[in-house]
Amino acid sequence: MGVIVMKFGGTSMAGIERIRNVAARVKREVEAGHAVAVVVSAMAGETDRLVNFCKEASPLADPAEYDVVVASGEQVTSGLLAIALQAAGLKARSWLGWQLPIATSPAHSTARIGSIDTGAVLTAMQGGEVAVIPGFQGMTADRRVTTLGRGGSDTSAVAVAAALKADRCDIYTDVEGVYTTDPRIVPRARKLGKITYEEMLELASVGAKVLQTRSVELAMKEKVRVQVLSSFSDEPGTLVVDEDEIVEQELIAGVAYNRNEAKVTVVKVPDLPGKVSAIFGPLAEANINVDMIIQSIATEAKDGTSTTDVTFTVPQTELTRARAILEREAGTIGHERILADDGVCKVTVVGVGMKSHAGVAVTMFKALASRGINIQAITTSEIKVSVLIAEEYLELAVRVLHTAYGLDA
């Protein structure tokens, strides 16, 4: 008898009719002879409703009490799914975060899972009872409710799968799997049968939010075989697995993009030691995530002083805050002025095959150049190449690259 974990997101749990549909899917796995644990999200929209209550009660809501409020959404769907499973003729019960327990760090609203006690639940599962576990929630050592941060239910599912030593962790969502790129931009995008943890991480980090980044990191660390599939269809999904499991490695797994980019240029920064850290230190302290950084060659003025332009990207949603910080620090940095441009986007090609193949970046640059798309910045890792371009070229760039790497169906 195999042990599997099934995770259903908010869209799959939105209303009793859909919860009944989830119960039917679970029943199929039970009838196939599996011991099943189901991890559930709150109904779509419910967490937002609860978060808004907290914000309205106080903009600086105590994170410990915020967790008490928002964790209730998953408690509700856990009980309802247990009821629906029983109505479908299965044995089932809910196991709340404090009942298992799921022990987490005390970092309220962004807690990390430490350990999960699976003794009692595994016994129940082996006795044929489906265990329904609310995602997103846990408990501190001093028995306070915690939550894992938005999208934390994926992480809960992977952690439960690791603790149960599950054969598979199936993440049911509203898409059918991981695609070579966004099918809304490239209709000939293909669903991937398999993808490596590393590729999935890079795709997630550049905006292809099929799985929460933390859940992929955890799956990679714990070697949990994750499958992404749709709760609204019966098509096979995408398996996220170790590189070893993928026999025939594609060069490029996919093309991703991120519109939430803004470019900042700090003009004429004195070319002196400490100036770069005077820019990025305060941004880091404010938790603003700086991505691509380019520093121009220093130029010397007539008076002998030397200056340089420092360009970098931040999330568009942080642009206002970033500018305010740089203006506050103007005395220390000593720059002439700041330019900001939120009309940019990042396009990324990802593939573990890159590790052993040269020329991947060149293909990218040539393909973009052939359509007259100017590259404003570049970053690379072992398995990805990202470029910053004007946002108006986003769709064109994605299509061109999808074709250039032979990904079209």
* CA distances (Å), origin 218, targets 121, 137, 225, 383: 21, 16, 11, 19
Rule CB under 8 A: is residue 149 a binding residue for a copy of itself? no
* Among residues 1, 2, 58, 299, the one that binds a copy of itself under rule CB under 8 A: 58
Beta sheet of 238-241, edge-to-edge order: 91-94, 129-134, 35-40, 3-8, 168-173, 226-230, 238-241, 194-196
The only residue of 96, 103, 226, 319 in contact with a copy of itself, by rule CB under 8 A: 96
CB atoms within 10 A of CB 309: 18
Per-residue contact track with a copy of itself, 9 to 48, x per CB under 8 A? Answer: -------x--xx----------------------------
Quick one: which of 57, 141, 284, 369 contacts a copy of itself (CB under 8 A)? 57
Q: Which of 8, 66, 179, 405 binds a copy of itself (CB under 8 A)?
A: 66
- Which of residues 21, 48, 51, 75 is near a copy of itself by CB under 8 A? 75
If the CB atoms of residues 118 and 307 are measured against a copy of itself, the closer one turns out to be 118
Dist CA 171 CA 153 (whole Å): 10
Determine the interface stretch with a copy of itself among 71-79, 167-175, 196-204, 390-398 (rule: CB under 8 A).
Answer: 71-79
Answer yes or no whether residue 337 interacts with a copy of itself by CB under 8 A.
no
Query: Which segments within 174-231 are labelled E, that is strand?
Result: 194-196, 226-230
Tokens of 76: 């509700």
Q: Which of 21, 27, 65, 290 binds a copy of itself (CB under 8 A)?
A: 65
Single residue of 21, 27, 48, 68 touching a copy of itself by CB under 8 A: 68
Residue 104, helix vs strand vs coil: strand
* Count of CA atoms in the C-beta half-sphere (13 A) of 351: 26
Which positions make up the binding site for ATP? 7-10, 173-174, 179, 184, 209-210
Question: Using the rule CB under 8 A, which residue among 80, 345, 352, 385 binds a copy of itself?
Answer: 80
Pick the closest to residue 161 from 244, 40, 73, 39 (CA basis).
Answer: 39
What are residue 255's phi and psi, to 5 degrees?
-120, 120
CB closer to a copy of itself out of 74 and 261: 74
Q: Binding site for substrate: which residues?
A: 47, 74
Residue 318 corresponds to which tokens in the numbers above? 């942080």
The helices-and-strands tally (H runs, E runs) of the chain is 13, 19
Assign 3-class secondary structure to 266-303. Answer: EEEEECCCCHHHHHHHHHHHCCCCCCCEEECCCEECCC
Q: Which helix (H) or strand (E) holds 152?
A: helix 152-163
375 forms part of the interface with a copy of itself (CB under 8 A): no
Stretch in the footprint of a copy of itself (CB under 8 A) among 92-100, 236-244, 249-257, 335-343: 92-100
The neighbouring-strand residues paired with 241 are 196
Stretch (H or E) spanning 34: none
- 327 is a site residue for a copy of itself (CB under 8 A): no
* Shortest Å distance, C-beta 58 to a copy of itself: 4
Judged by CB, which is closer to a copy of itself: 94, or 316?
A: 94
Residue 379 buriedness (CB in 10 A; 0-12 / 13-18 / 19+): middle
CB 67 to a copy of itself: min, Å: 8
Q: Which stretch binds a copy of itself (CB under 8 A): 57-65, 222-230, 288-296, 304-312?
A: 57-65
236 sits near a copy of itself (criterion: CB under 8 A) = no
User: Least separation, in Å, of the C-beta of 141 and a copy of itself?
Assistant: 13
| Residue 119 interacts with a copy of itself (CB under 8 A): yes or no | no
Alpha helices in 16-151 (DSSP H): 16-31, 46-57, 63-70, 72-87, 119-126
Residue ranges binding a copy of itself (CB under 8 A): 16, 19-20, 50, 53-54, 56-58, 60-62, 64-69, 71-73, 75-76, 78-80, 82-84, 86-87, 93-94, 96, 98-99, 143-145
